C-alpha cells in the first residue's frame, strides 16, 4: 500500500494513491530539506560500485581476482541495473516512491554486508549482483522526484548541489575505505560499513521524506494520462518520439568518463603507487566533483536564462571537449609524482561533476511529468548502465592485454571528442521539444 502523510498525497504511486491534482506552483515548500534527505540514497547507490574499485587491490589476491574479474563484476552489476531499474520505477507507480526507496535500500545494505563474508569470487559476484538489484532503484526514482521538487529555472542548482554533496561525502569515505585495505581482511570491514550506510539512508527516507507529488513544481497541471503501466509500448513510443531524449540516450552511451570510477585507482597502482597512495586521488576528485557540480549547476541555470534554446547544449558540448583535453594530459604522460595525477584527476572530476547539472535538466525539460520516471530509468538504469558495462568489460580485457593507458586514450579522449560532436545534433531538436512539452503536445 502506498504510504500516506497527513498533509501530502503521494502522486504517481498507482491505483491506491490519490490522483495528481494541479501543480501547487513553482516553489515547493521544504524542497531543499527533502533533497538533503534523498541525497544519501544517491551516495549509497554510488558506493555500491566504488567500494569494489577502492578495495580491489586488497581483494585481488585473497579472492584470486584479475582486472578482467573487476570489469566483469562491475559490468554485470550494471546489466542487472538495466533490467531492474525500469521495474522499480514501475513498482514505484503502484507502491509509492518512498516505499520502493526504503525497501531497496534495506535490501542493498544486507547484500553488501554479505559481500564481506565472501570466500571466493563466485560468492562475491552473487552477493554483489543481489545488492545491484536494490541499487537500481535509487537514481531514476530520485531524479523523478527532484523534477517534482524544483522548477525549470532551479533544477541545475538542485542537481549540482545533490551530486556535489554526495561526492564530498564519498571523498571522505573513499580514503577511509582504502586505509582498511592496508589491514589484514580490512576489505571485509569496508563492505560491512557500506552496508550499514545503506540501511541508514533507507531509514532517513522512511522517517523524514515526504513525496511532493508528480508535477508539483509545474506552473500548469500535467496532462491526465494512464500511467499504471510505466513501461508499456505506448510509454516507450512517447518517450522515443521525443527526438532530444533519443539523442541523450545515445550521448550517455558515448560517455567514456563513466570508466574512471572503476579503474582510476588501479591505473595509479600500475604507475607504481601503493593502494593507499593511489586512493588519495579520491580527495581532489571529490573536491573537484563538488565544485564542478555546484558551479556547473549555477552556470547551467544562468546560461539557460541567457539562451533558453541553445545554452544548455553549448555547455554540454564544451564539457565533453574539456574533459577529453584534461584526460589526455592526465593519463597519457608518466608524471614523476602523485601530485600531477591528483591535479589532473581532480580537474577531470570537476568537469564530470558539471555534467549532471546540464544533462538531467535537458531531459527534464523535454519530458512531461508522467514520463520523467520512465525517462530516467531508461537514461540512467539502462543507457548509462549498459555503457558502463561495455566500458568495464572492454577495459578489463584490454587492460590486461594492452594496459590501461591505451584504453584510457581511446575511451577518455577519442570517444569524448566524438561525444562533443554528436551533442551538436541537440541544437536542432532541443528547442522544438521544449516547446512541445510547454504546449502539451507530448
Per-residue pLDDT of 395-437, as tens digits, reads 666 666 677 888 889 889 999 999 999 999 999 999 999 999 9
- pLDDT of residue 150 exceeding 70: yes
- Superfamily for domain range 31-216+235-438: MFS general substrate transporter like domains (1.20.1250.20)
- Quote the pTM value: 0.78
The C-alpha torsion from 15 through 204 and 357 to 78, rounded to 10°, is -70
Q: Give the percent of the chain with pLDDT over 70.
A: 87
Higher pLDDT residue, 393 or 245?
245
When mean pLDDT is compared across 11-15, 63-67, 118-122, 307-311, the lowest value belongs to 11-15
The whole-angstrom separation of Cα 67 and Cα 60 is 9
Task: Copy the grid coordinates of residue 388.
Answer: 558502463
pLDDT score, position 7: 33
Domain ranges of the chain: 31-216+235-438
- pLDDT of residue 264 exceeding 90: no
326 and 256 in contact (C-beta within 8 Å)? no
The whole-angstrom separation of Cα 128 and Cα 87 is 19
pLDDT score, position 424: 96
The whole-angstrom separation of Cα 147 and Cα 161 is 14
Q: At what angle do helices 97-115 and 67-95 cross, to 10 degrees?
A: 150
- Mean pLDDT score, 348-353: 92
Amino acid at each position: 500500500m502506498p504510504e500516506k502523510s497527513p498533509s501530502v498525497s503521494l502522486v504517481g504511486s498507482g491505483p491506491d494513491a490519490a490522483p495528481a491534482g494541479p501543480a501547487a506552483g513553482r516553489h515547493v515548500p521544504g524542497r531543499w530539506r527533502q533533497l538533503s534527505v534523498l541525497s544519501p540514497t544517491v551516495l549509497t547507490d554510488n558506493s555500491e560500485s566504488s567500494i569494489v574499485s577502492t578495495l580491489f587491490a586488497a581483494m585481488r589476491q585473497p579472492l584470486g581476482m584479475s582486472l578482467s574479474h573487476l570489469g566483469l563484476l562491475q559490468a554485470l552489476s550494471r546489466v542487472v541495473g538495466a533490467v531492474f531499474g525500469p521495474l522499480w520505477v514501475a513498482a514505484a507507480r503502484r507502491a509509492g516512491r518512498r516505499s520502493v526507496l526504503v525497501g531497496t535500500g534495506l535490501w542493498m545494505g544486507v547484500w553488501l554486508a554479505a559481500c564481506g563474508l565472501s570466500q571466493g569470487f563466485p560468492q562475491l559476484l552473487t552477493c554483489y549482483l543481489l545488492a545491484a538489484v536494490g541499487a537500481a532503484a535509487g537514481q531514476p526514482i530520485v531524479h523523478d522526484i527532484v523534477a517534482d521538487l524544483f522548477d525549470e529555472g532551479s533544477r541545475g542548482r538542485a542537481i549540482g548541489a545533490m551530486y556535489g554533496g554526495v561526492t564530498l561525502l564519498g571523498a571522505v569515505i573513499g580514503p577511509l575505505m582504502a586505509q582498511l585495505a592496508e589491514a589484514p581482511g580490512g576489505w571485509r570491514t569496508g563492505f560491512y560499513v557500506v552496508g550499514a550506510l545503506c540501511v541508514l539512508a533507507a531509514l532517513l527516507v522512511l522517517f523524514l521524506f515526504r513525496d511532493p507529488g508528480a508535477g508539483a513544481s509545474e506552473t500548469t497541471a500535467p496532462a491526465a494520462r494512464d500511467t499504471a503501466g510505466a513501461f508499456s509500448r505506448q510509454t516507450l513510443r512517447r518517450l522515443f518520439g521525443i527526438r532530444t531524449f533519443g539523442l541523450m540516450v545515445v550521448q550517455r552511451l558515448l560517455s567514456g568518463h563513466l570508466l574512471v570510477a572503476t579503474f582510476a585507482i588501479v591505473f595509479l597502482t600500475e604507475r607504481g603507487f601503493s593502494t593507499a597512495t593511489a586512493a588519495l586521488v579520491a580527495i581532489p576528485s571529490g573536491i573537484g566533483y563538488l565544485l564542478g557540480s555546484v558551479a556547473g549547476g549555477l552556470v547551467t541555470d544562468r546560461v539557460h536564462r541567457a539562451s533558453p534554446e541553445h545554452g544548455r547544449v553549448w555547455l554540454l558540448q564544451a564539457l565533453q571537449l574539456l574533459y577529453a583535453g584534461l584526460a589526455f594530459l592526465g593519463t597519457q604522460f608518466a608524471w614523476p609524482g602523485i601530485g600531477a595525477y591528483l591535479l589532473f584527476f581532480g580537474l577531470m572530476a570537476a568537469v564530470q561533476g558539471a555534467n549532471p547539472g546540464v544533462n538531467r535538466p535537458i531531459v527534464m525539460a523535454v519530458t512531461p511529468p508522467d514520463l520523467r520516471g520512465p525517462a530516467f530509468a531508461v537514461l540512467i538504469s539502462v543507457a548509462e548502465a549498459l555503457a558502463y558495462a561495455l566500458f568495464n568489460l572492454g577495459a578489463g580485457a584490454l587492460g590486461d592485454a594492452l594496459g590501461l593507458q591505451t584504453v584510457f586514450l581511446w575511451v577518455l579522449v577519442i570517444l569524448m571528442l566524438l561525444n562533443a560532436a554528436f551533442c551538436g545534433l541537440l541544437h536542432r531538436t532541443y528547442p522544438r521539444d521544449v516547446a512541445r512539452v510547454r504546449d502539451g503536445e507530448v
